[in-house]
Amino acid sequence: MQASVLKSINLQLDHFAEFSGISAGDIVKLSVAGNTTMLHLLLGVDPLSIAMAPFTPKFTEAQRLEGKDLNLNMHPQGEVRLLPSVSAYVGADIVAGLASIKPSESRKNYLFLDIGTNGEIALVTSELIFCCSSAAGPAFEGARISCGMGGLEGAISAYDKNGYTVIGDVRPIGICGSGLIDIVAWMVENRLVSSDGLIDSDIVVATADQTFSGEMPSITQQDIREVQLAKSAIAAGVNILLKHANLDLDKIDALYLAGGFGNYINPESAMKIGLISTRLAGKIITVGNTSGTGALLALKSTQFDIVIEDLLKKTEYIELSGHEDFTLEFVMNMMF
């Protein structure tokens, strides 16, 4: 797996060098932000301890190496810097993302949400940062959904009363995460799914003559259950962080939606299904690939190192798996 990761990075380094008209040896600094497991794999460090209680990674601190240590296609003595992580499930990608958000007097208390198989959540206040990782499962990435797929060409990525939108403007093949949320929100709005998640029959999203394969993408009862599990895990994590900070949702000035998925999700649909509270309406800001933004800032700014250091000093990680309130919060947020 390390070899696979390094091969991918080297392909990109070669591409960048060719595109810029330079040699690989001209690359003298590389900044890396990623989740804790990927950083372990990059360095060839066994990540097994991350998957087993008490979920302790081999390292969370920033790592500095030279290009030759990893056989990277760059200057042999060039600096390779891995940004620090918080814990096993809140990695350097989240640290980079949080640090990349410019402080604002009008947004002193805010939520940061990166939705994936693990939903990383942070609650930032003027004094402390509370963060957690909620096991949302892969539904929002198209996995374990009957006709689910990633956000690739052919995926239904949006849906409303007027029909669907397909990535690449081609015949649909399946449904990706943003499309799934839109479809379920439409079902909730039109009372095709009960408050506890029951449906009378599968919901056909596209007919056979409209699709590439001749099959009909549909939403099944099990798909609804997967959405319930995913959205409930996220909502429960948010509520527990608010309790730790002794804050009410009304005191939250903004919700930053990060990551590729967060960039394409329809906030209104997310609120309709209960993934995001309706009390945050008008406060949701999509910020895209903040991990990449943070990695770039770390590459270019020594001041950014101080920002990261200060951020880590006031960050407290909340482990949800054994939290006394998690089960109740999880169950209470299953409803639509």
36-88 pLDDT per residue, tens: 999 999 999 999 999 888 889 999 999 999 999 999 999 999 999 999 999 99
- Kindly state whether residues 264 and 301 are assigned to the same domain: yes
What Rg value do the Cα atoms of the chain yield, rounded?
21
Last residue of a domain, one of 57, 82, 107: 82
- Kindly state whether residues 200 and 73 are assigned to the same domain: no
How many angstroms separate the Cα of 249 from the Cα of each of 54, 117, 118, 242? 31, 24, 22, 7
110: β partners: 124, 254
Burial class (CB in 10 A: 0-12, 13-18, 19+), 42: buried
Last residue of a domain, one of 47, 82, 117: 82
- Kindly state whether residues 118 and 158 are assigned to the same domain: yes
- Kindly state whether residues 100 and 147 are assigned to the same domain: yes
- Kindly state whether residues 17 and 127 are assigned to the same domain: no
- Kindly state whether residues 148 and 19 are assigned to the same domain: no
Two structure tokens written together for 320: 């949800």
Residues sharing a CB contact under 8 Å with residue 334, sequence separation 6 or more, in sequence order: 196, 197, 228, 229, 232
Pairing of strands 129-135, 118-124: antiparallel
114: β partners: 120, 258
Q: How far apart are CA 132 and CA 192, in angstroms?
A: 33
- Output the CA torsion sign for 37, 39, 41, 44: negative
Give the angle 17-19-22 at the CA atoms, nearest 5°: 40
Among residues 113, 123, 37, 39, which one has the least CA distance to residue 295? Answer: 39
- Kindly state whether residues 74 and 203 are assigned to the same domain: no
- Kindly state whether residues 237 and 302 are assigned to the same domain: yes
Among residues 279, 298, 242, which one has the least CA distance to residue 98? Answer: 298
Whether the Cβ atoms of residue 295 and residue 27 lie closer than 8 Å to each other:
no
Question: Can you give the pLDDT of all 336 residues of the chain as single tens digits?
Answer: 999 999 999 999 999 999 999 999 999 999 999 999 999 999 999 999 998 888 899 999 999 999 999 999 999 999 999 999 999 999 999 999 999 998 888 899 999 999 876 789 999 998 999 999 988 778 888 788 999 998 889 999 999 999 999 999 999 999 999 999 999 999 999 999 999 999 999 999 988 888 877 788 899 999 999 999 999 999 999 999 999 999 999 999 999 999 877 778 899 999 999 999 999 999 999 998 999 999 999 999 999 999 999 999 999 999 988 788 888 999 999 999
Ramachandran category for residue 282: left, alpha or beta (phi over 0 → left; psi -120 to 50 → alpha)? left
- Kindly state whether residues 228 and 154 are assigned to the same domain: yes
Q: How far apart are CA 312 and CA 271, in angstroms?
A: 31
Two structure tokens written together for 5: 């990761």
Give the pTM.
0.90
- Kindly state whether residues 66 and 215 are assigned to the same domain: no
CATH code, 255 = 3.30.420
CATH code, 69 = 3.30.420.480
Last residue of a domain, one of 82, 110, 132: 82
- Output the CA torsion sign for 184, 185, 186, 192: positive
Q: How far apart are CA 176 and CA 269, in angstroms?
A: 14
Ramachandran category for residue 212: left, alpha or beta (phi over 0 → left; psi -120 to 50 → alpha)? alpha
Range of the domain at 307: 91-336
Q: Domains in the chain: how many in total?
A: 2
- Kindly state whether residues 238 and 101 are assigned to the same domain: yes
- pLDDT per position as a tens digit, 268-280: 999 999 999 999 9
